[in-house]
Amino acid sequence: MNQLKKFQGIELTKDIRCSLNAILEASTNQEVGELLSEILSLASSSGTIPLKAITLAKSLNPSSELLDKLNTSLEGTKLVYETIKPQLVAVDQESYQQRITRLKLKQEERKYAKLTKNLDKATSDDATLKSMMYAASVGANMVVAPISIGVLMYFFSGKLFEFVIPGYRPEPGKIDIKGVIAGVLSGVLMLFIEMILFVIRNHEMDRFMTKKAKEQKDVNPFGYDPKKAERTFEG
């Protein structure tokens, strides 16, 4: 495992110490000089002087002779690094396993999303709407059709009975009972006809959907059907 290192400064040699002391003696800035002197005393015990001390020494505007002497003493100096030992942190095994599981699930989710990004994921609201409209139209048709044919037969039954029954005449100002009966029977008959047609339509639709489901059983999410492919590419 690679060790972590932290930069400390440069090795404090005898020449560097002499150059810095000479600059301190010639300095007129007391505040900066005290700070540099403190850093130099700490560096003497550790054997390493930070680059900040060199920057402070140059900020004292030493003479060109002292500055050249300092630059000369810095040539060939060694950089000092401090090795940082990584601290081992105790890991809860249960929390670690839970985190690994979550990361695996996220990775699988990203792979799935990448594989299915070209699929149409939009919810088909039109299919639901069409289904509701179909059910409403069938219900309305089963109500309206018997009523319509019943009313029609009520007004038409008088002429029909006059043709079938000689001498038949409905009494003026009274309800034609025979017409009502004919209208009700016609409405009931039409209701049975509509129910039969409804059953036939549902049967045909179920048969079509079952056949379609069987055809699409082997189709993968990308629309590839092995059976159709065999028919297409057979020589």
Give tens-digit pLDDT for 57-72: 888 878 888 888 888 8
Angle at the Cα of 136 from the Cα atoms of 135 and 142, rounded to 5 degrees? 90
Identify the pLDDT of residue 230: 59
Same structural domain, 52 and 74: yes
Same structural domain, 169 and 182: yes
Query: Has residue 201 got a pLDDT over 50?
Result: yes
Same structural domain, 155 and 202: yes
Identify the pLDDT of residue 211: 78
* Domain around 53: 4-84
Question: What count of Cα atoms within 13 Å lies in the side-chain half-sphere of residue 136?
Answer: 6
Task: Characterize 80-99 residue by residue with b for buried, 16 or more Cβ atoms within 10 angstroms of its Cβ, and e for exposed.
Answer: beeeeeeeeeeeeeeeeeee
The band of 112, judged by pLDDT with boundaries at 50, 70 and 90, is confident
Asked if residue 86 lies in contact with residue 4, where contact means CB atoms within 8 angstroms, the answer is yes
Same structural domain, 68 and 93: no
Identify the pLDDT of residue 235: 47
Same structural domain, 177 and 205: yes
Structurally, the chain folds into a number of domains equal to: 3
Question: To which residue do tokens 């040539």 refer?
Answer: 75
> For 21-45, what is the mean pLDDT?
82
Same structural domain, 61 and 96: no
Same structural domain, 38 and 136: no
Same structural domain, 174 and 195: yes
> For 117-132, what is the mean pLDDT?
64
The last residue of a domain, from among 34, 58, 84? 84
Same structural domain, 44 and 138: no
Query: Has residue 88 got a pLDDT over 80?
Result: no
The whole-chain average pLDDT of the chain stands at 76
Per the confidence metrics, is the pTM higher than 0.85? no
Same structural domain, 78 and 138: no
Q: Is 49 helix (H, G, I), strand (E, B) or coil?
A: strand
> For 5-28, what is the mean pLDDT?
83
Identify the pLDDT of residue 174: 66
Same structural domain, 135 and 111: no
Same structural domain, 60 and 102: no
Task: Characterize 117-131 residue by residue with b for buried, 16 or more Cβ atoms within 10 angstroms of its Cβ, and e for exposed.
Answer: eeeeeeeeeeeeeee
